[in-house]
Structure 1
Amino acid sequence: MRRGKYIFFLTLLYLGMGPSFAQEAPVLKLTLEEVFEKAETGNRSLKISDYNQKLAEAAVVDAKKKALPSLDVSVSASYLGDGRLIDRDFSSGMKTPIPHFGNNFAIEATQVIYAGGAVDATIRNADLSQQLAKLEKDNNRQGVRFLLTGYYLELAKLNNQRQVLASNIKQTEKLLDQINAKYKEGLALRNNVTRYELQLKTLELNLVKLENSLAIINSELVTALNLPRGTQIAVDDIQYIGQDEQSNPTYWQQLALENSPVLKQLGLHVEQAKNGETLAKADKLPQVVAFAGDKLDGPIVIEIPPIDKNFNYWYAGVGLKYNIASLYNSKSKVDMAELNTQKVLEQNEQVIDNLLQDIHASHIRYQESFKVYETHLKNQELAQENYTVIRNRYLDDLVLITEMLDAENARLDAELQAANAQINILFNYYNLKKLTGTL
């Protein structure tokens, strides 16, 4: 009877959550690897990283074009007014007719032959930015996967807790029926029945809160995967790991040095800083440019009277350009670029130290989580034994109802702690994989 009331209560709560929950939602059972696969095509953060990488690739193409010759073409038509000849003292002027239609066509090609390495350095910077964008995407992927792992493991943890609560509700209902039977026989007090009714209501309320937490975490995971709203994610069987799984901390540190996107970015930052030095030093060097062109002008107005004909000529040559101000301006720029390189090198060492320290601390927590789980398993076993003894003694009228409630609460807490501790092992393991860039 009580079970029927409980189901009726949950049904009303379920329907009261709104149309989106009242309708039958699609259920999608996924492994953690399948969650990662769906994130590759659905997660918006990874899509933004894709665009950043494509923009960096386009910047490389654009930078390489700077090494190609430039070609300038100009065409113009104009109306020319009549000229006037005037003496040097601005007297005795006379009108000089000029053909009124003027035209100009010019084409000129230029090619930088030498610029102190500035062009190559600019292309190299664009190429480094492209590599950094790819590594940034890889690093972002690690962050997204770790976030999804947290959601996924939280769903698994809440599912475990739901099973524990549901099992305790059934046992509490059964025990309540036994106490009611004793009450009807005059062998138990009414307040004993009331206390267990309160206990049952508390468990039912905790289950409702847990169901709400499941709905929230499920919604966050669905949003992160960009799945249709209302999709229900079902956690597949989780493969737990043994304590000897890469138990050596040196293994994880070496793994990070080989695979971490963050560490790979450090080397590229150093190359960018050194390229900055090249660009700063290029200001002190001359530029050598080759050029060639062809021009067509008309009429020829440098003659008097003007000649109403087109004049075409071509030219080619080599030019040298040098900024004299660079002799005193470039030194400070070079000094700044060299200081920036030293700063980047120092920052890199700091990042490496911090990452290795994070891995060391995470590995300690990872090993600790096994001890915590073993402890909670033992606590669960002892709490179950204690509950069985107290329950039998209570049914034989040898202990008070308060001892029975304490024993039941202790058993419930031990079961929940054990379920959570097993999931925490996986969380610490995946945290290590995220730090090493291998998630």
Structure 2
Amino acid sequence: MSKKKRLIGLLCIAVLCSQCLCAQTRQMGIEELFRLADGQSQSIQAYKTGTEAAREALKAAKAQRLPDVNASLSASYWGNGKLWDRDFGNAMTVDMPHFGNNFALEAQQVIYAGGAISSGIRQAELGTLLAELDLQKNVQEIRFLLVGHYLNLYKLDNQIRVLEKNMELTEEVIANMKARREQGTVLKNDITRYELQKEQLNLQLSRVKDARKIANHQLVTTLHLPENTEISPDTSLLERQILTLTEEEWQDLAEGNNILLRQSQAAVRMNEQKVKQERSERLPHISLVAAEHLDGPITIEVPVLDNNFNYWYIGVGIKYNFSSLFKNNRKLKQARLNVRQAQERHLLVQEQVENAVQEGYVNFLTAFTDLRTQENSVRLADENYSVTDNRYQNGMALLTDMLDASNMKLSADLGLVNARINILYNYYTMKYITHTL
């Protein structure tokens, strides 16, 4: 029996140790949260790859300024030729050298294309800018998502502490009631009602702990941390000084940093470049041309000369597409309408951002008012609980009064926690709207 007990004890110790090893608590501040997201978020990595692709597209567009160089080399077998009169009489076979060769080297440098190449490069630059803005926007979205989960985690931790504190108070009241029941001054029904409240608190505590597990899992998954990581928020978070700006200052921040505004501005410039590109189709293209040829045999003579003929040339080539005068009008008009539409969308985005900043700022101020209200509510609820408890102890208050005071205190404590977290959330909401997270 002693060996069995020893074995069971060792197994219990092993299980406890494994649980301690599995659960890895990691205290983390918001800045570290952002740093991990920037390096490990799958969404951000995808947008980084898109930015790299856009930069390669820009290099490809700039390469259009380089000359086009073509080389060709061929060898062929020539059959004998036939020679007739104009009426196809007096046929005669013409002996041909049977080996033919051709070598050509040609180079062409565009010196004027109506602005098509420059416009293409500018579009690629704007495409790179848009890709970088998409990346920055995704970073802001991921950070704001993480802030929401993180503050929710902080709120849940505080709710757990409040509920546990109220559980302790409830247990103290129950202990006092049991002592008084022995003296015959409290009915068993009163104790039962308070024990029922304790069970309700226990159920609420269990639900909050489950919600914390969910929030923690969402954070861990987004940051690609080990599954057994338990994130512990920075306990000094609420002690930080909140930067309070005026609405005009927040509006200025949004005007200079909001990515949606910058994207809509880039879209206007992109469509303007497309107008230039369409207009370039109606202009001549001029290029420098150089070529080197080596051909054999020489077939312009009869009999054919079995020799190699080498020639080269340089010159200027001009190409003009006359059909663009009547084919390109609709495309040019469409491109101009796209510019106007992009400008109108930019104005719409300005309105939306301005409204978002104003709404966020009002909510931010409301959060401070809510905090002051909740602080007063906690003070009054504590006073009410103390007075009611004293009256109940002296038999001057009913149990229902005590229960009401206890519930009021719990509600006020939870409201204060939520109000403090809500100020932080609204602050980070303003930073998200202005894209300064």
TM-score by length of 1: 0.91
Mark the CA change 1:91 to 1:190 in structure 2 (over 3 Å): closer, same or farther: farther
Query: Alpha carbon RMSD of aligned pairs, Å?
Result: 1.9
Asked if 1 retains the 8 angstrom alpha-carbon contact of 2:57 and 2:124, the reply is: yes
Partner of 1:10: none
Deviates more, 1:304-313 or 1:317-326: 304-313
Question: How far apart are the structure 1 equivalents of 2:121 and 2:352?
Answer: 32
What is the CA distance between 1:403 and its match in structure 2? 2.1
Answering whether residue 241 of structure 2 is matched by residue 249 of structure 1, we say no
Inter-partner Cα distance in structure 2 for 1:385 and 1:231: 41
Please point out which of 115, 126, 129 is paired with 2:127. Answer: 129
Q: Is the alpha carbon distance of 1:222 and 1:21 closer, same or farther for their aligned partners in structure 2, counting shifts above 3 Å?
A: farther
The letter of the residue matching 1:238 is: L
- Aligned residue pairs: how many? 421
Shift, 1:164, TM fit:
0.1
- Residue 151 of structure 2 corresponds to 153
Once residues 92 and 29 of structure 1 are traced to their aligned partners in structure 2, the CA distance between those partners, rounded to angstroms, is 104
- Which residue number in structure 2 is paired with residue 238 of structure 1? 237
What are the superposed Cα offsets for residues 53-75 of structure 1, whole Å, 9 maximum, x if unpaired?
A: 11111111100001110101111
What is the aligned partner in structure 2 of residue 42 from structure 1?
A: 40
Shift of 1:292: 0.6
Aligned partners of 2:18 and 2:97: how far apart in 1? Answer: 83
The residue number in structure 2 matching 1:7 is: none
Normalising by structure 2, we get a TM-score of 0.92
Q: Deviations over 1:198-238 (max 9, x none)?
A: 21111111111111111111111112212222211111120
Q: Which of 404, 416, 426 matches 1:428?
A: 426
Are positions 1:310 and 2:295 aligned together? no
1:335 equivalent to 2:333? Answer yes
Instruction: Tell me what 2:274 maps to.
Output: 276
How far residue 367 of structure 1 moved from its aligned partner, in angstroms, is: 0.3
Matched residue type, 2:210: N
Tell me the CA shift for residue 319 of structure 1. Answer: 1.1
Residue equivalent to 1:286:
284
Q: Once structures 1 and 2 are overlaid, which stretch shifts more, 196-205 or 60-69?
A: 196-205
Show the counterpart of 1:75.
Answer: 73
Is the CA contact 1:148–1:221 (under 8 Å) kept in the aligned structure 2?
A: yes
The more displaced of 218-227 and 184-193 is: 184-193
Matched, 1:260 2:258: yes
Where in structure 1 are there 5+ consecutive unaligned residues? 1-14
Where do residues 101-180 of structure 1 align in structure 2 (5 Å cutoff)?
101-180=99-178
Q: 1:64 to 1:247 in 2, by over 3 A?
A: closer
Determine the C-alpha separation between the residues in 1 that align with 2:148 and 2:374.
22
Equivalent AA in structure 2 for residue 52 of structure 1: G
Contact 2:238 2:421 in 1 (8 A): no
Deviation readout 1:89-145 (Å, 9 max, x if unpaired): 334433323222222211100111111101100001101111222222222222111
Aligned amino acid, residue 418 of structure 1: L
What is the letter of the counterpart of residue 138 of structure 1?
Q
Contact 1:21 1:230 in 2 (8 A): no
Change (3 A) 1:253 1:241: farther
Q: Which segment drifts farther, 328-337 or 249-258?
A: 328-337
* CA spacing shift, 1:260–1:240, aligned 2, 3 Å: farther
Amino acid at match of 1:228: P
Q: Deviations over 1:334-362 (max 9, x none)?
A: 22222211111111111111101110111
**1:371 shift after superposition:** 0.5
Instruction: Name structure 2 gaps, 5 residues minimum.
Output: 1-14
Kept in 2, the 8 Å contact 1:260–1:435? The answer is yes
- Which contiguous aligned blocks of 4+ residues in structure 1 show a shift greater than 6 angstroms? 19-22
Question: Take 1:212 and 1:388, find their aligned partners in 2: how far apart are those partners?
Answer: 32
Counterpart Cα distance in 1 of 2:245 and 2:254: 15
Q: Show the 5 A alignment for 1:24-43.
A: 24-43=22-41
- Give the drift of 1:239: 4.0
Structure 1 416/295 Cα, relative in aligned 2: closer, same or farther at 3 Å?
A: same
Superposed CA deviations along residues 393-418 of structure 1, whole A, max 9, x for unmatched, are: 22333322222222111110110011
**Structure 2 counterpart SS, 1:66:** helix
* Alignment match, 2:64: 66
Q: 1:328: how far off?
A: 1.3
User: Structure 1 CA distance, aligned partners of 2:96 and 2:336?
Assistant: 61
- The CA distance in 1 between the partners of 2:85 and 2:180, in whole Å, is 136
Within the candidate set 351, 361, 364, 1:363 is matched to 361
1:21 shift after superposition? 7.3
State the shift of 1:286 in Å. Answer: 0.9
The structure-2 alpha-carbon separation of the partners of 1:21 and 1:338, relative to structure 1 and needing over 3 Å to count, comes to farther
Q: What SS does structure 1 have at the residue aligned with 2:106?
A: strand
**Distance in 1 (alpha carbons) for counterparts of 2:184 and 2:88:** 137
Contact 1:169–1:200 under 8 Å retained in 2: yes
Alignment check: 8 A CA contact 1:96 1:305 kept? yes
Q: Which residue of 1 aligns with 2:91?
A: 93
